[in-house]
Amino acid sequence: MQRRRTVKVPASSANLGPGFDVLAAALGLHMELEVVETGEFAVVTDLPIATDRRNLCVRGFEHLHPADTFEFRITSGIPLSGGLGTSAAAYVAGLMAADHLFELDAPLLQHATELEGHPDNVAAALHGGIALCADGTSTRMGAPTGLETVILVPDEAVRTKLARAALPAEVPMSEAVFNTAHASLLVLGLATGDYDLIARGLQDKLHQDRRAHLFPRSMDLVRRAASLGALGATISGAGPTVLFWSHYEQTPMLVDALRGEAEGWAQVLRAPLETMGAQVTSVG
């Protein structure tokens, strides 16, 4: 019997406003990787991604074990660009498949962070919920009942390299203090279910405004989020996707408003906060 593993991994949105490289949330869009021991290496997918060893799922797998005798079958409902953790999901999928196949009990967060370069997206992808990352580890917390998220994904992507290059080498003290305070408000609001604190805590002075010239339409919607019916909005990771935060009673109105705003240049998706992290099923 051919050994095979199927790994399902959620999308993720990082930073969540003020929590740069520290906070991330898993979202209810998924990538699925099936790894089958066929005796030959191959990558099978309809996605416009690498089908050789540059493929990120393969790179994750080979971080732990050679992939010479395995076929990688990849499908995904996660938009490939825009800041929704596609690379993190791919690395996590490959790592988990190898770890499960060969019973390695590897420190997956550590390996995924080495590959991705920062822990927030991979922590949310691995564990689900909202990830708080510090000291090389992550702490998972759930979201308050009734909190929902909607994403607006622009048709035109922004390269992560350009988004990172827009940031300063050093952050002014006033901005560091502002973001520390608002990240604290956000976490407290999420922990206690205080929607007013969540709304206040979504503000950022580190990365969003500095990247605004790369995605001006996205940033315009972030600034107008409350008038559209949201608690607030944040640029998802390096952008240009926007994550809108909403109480469930306001979500239908918000979705209608966003579809009107997005016509002709972006798509709007309901992407609920995902409680489950990456999951593996096996045959053989």
What CATH number should be reported for the domain holding residue 131?
A: 3.30.230.10
Same domain, 111 and 170: no
pLDDT digits (tens, 9 = 90+) for 134-152: 999 999 999 999 999 999 9
Name the residue among 263, 237, 235 with its Cα closest to residue 245: 235
How far apart are alpha carbons 221 and 228 in whole angstroms?
A: 8
CA distances to 10, 153, 269 from 259, rounded to whole Å, are 24, 11, 9
pLDDT of residue 1: 65
Looking at the structure, do residues 191 and 98 belong to the same domain, yes or no?
no
Could you report the per-residue pLDDT of 8-19, keeping only the tens digit for each? Answer: 999 999 999 999
- The pLDDT, as a whole number, for residue 229 is 96
**108 and 81 in a common domain:** yes
Q: How many residues comprise the chain?
A: 284
Q: Are residues 62 and 42 in the same domain?
A: yes
Task: State residue 51's pLDDT score.
Answer: 97
The pTM of this model reads 0.95
Residue located via tokens 């009942």:
145
Domain match, 171 and 135 both: no
Same domain assignment for residues 137 and 156? no
Mean pLDDT, rounded, for 233-253: 96
Domain count of the chain?
2
Percent of the chain with pLDDT over 70: 99
State whether 218 and 106 are in the same domain: no
Kindly state whether residues 153 and 131 are assigned to the same domain: no
Residue type, 162: L
Are residues 14 and 124 both part of a single domain? yes
120 and 76 in a common domain: yes
Same structural domain, 195 and 78: no
pLDDT over threshold 70, residue 284? no
Q: What is the residue range of 47's domain?
A: 4-141+274-283
Residues 48-82: tens digit of each pLDDT:
999 999 999 999 999 999 999 999 999 999 998 78
What pLDDT score does 174 carry? 96
Residues 6+ apart with CB under 8 A from 240: 82, 83, 154, 156, 157, 158, 214, 215, 217, 218
Are 68 and 14 part of one and the same domain?
A: yes
What is the DSSP code string of the chain? ---EEEEEEEEEEESTTT-TTTEEEEEEEEEEEEEEE-SS-EEEESSSS--STTSHHHHHHHTTS--TTEEEEEEE-S-SSSSS-HHHHHHHHHHHHHHHHTT----HHHHHHHHHSSSHHHHHHHH-SEEEEETTEEEEEPPPTTEEEEEEEESS---HHHHHHTS-SS--HHHHHHHHHHHHHHHHHHHHT-HHHHHHHT--SSSTGGGGGG-HHHHHHHHTTGGGT-SEEEE-TTSS-EEEEEETTTHHHHHHHHHHHHTTTEEEEE-PBP----EEEEE-
Calpha distance 35→27 (Å, rounded): 23
Quick one: pLDDT at residue 160? 83
CATH of the domain at 240: 3.30.70.890
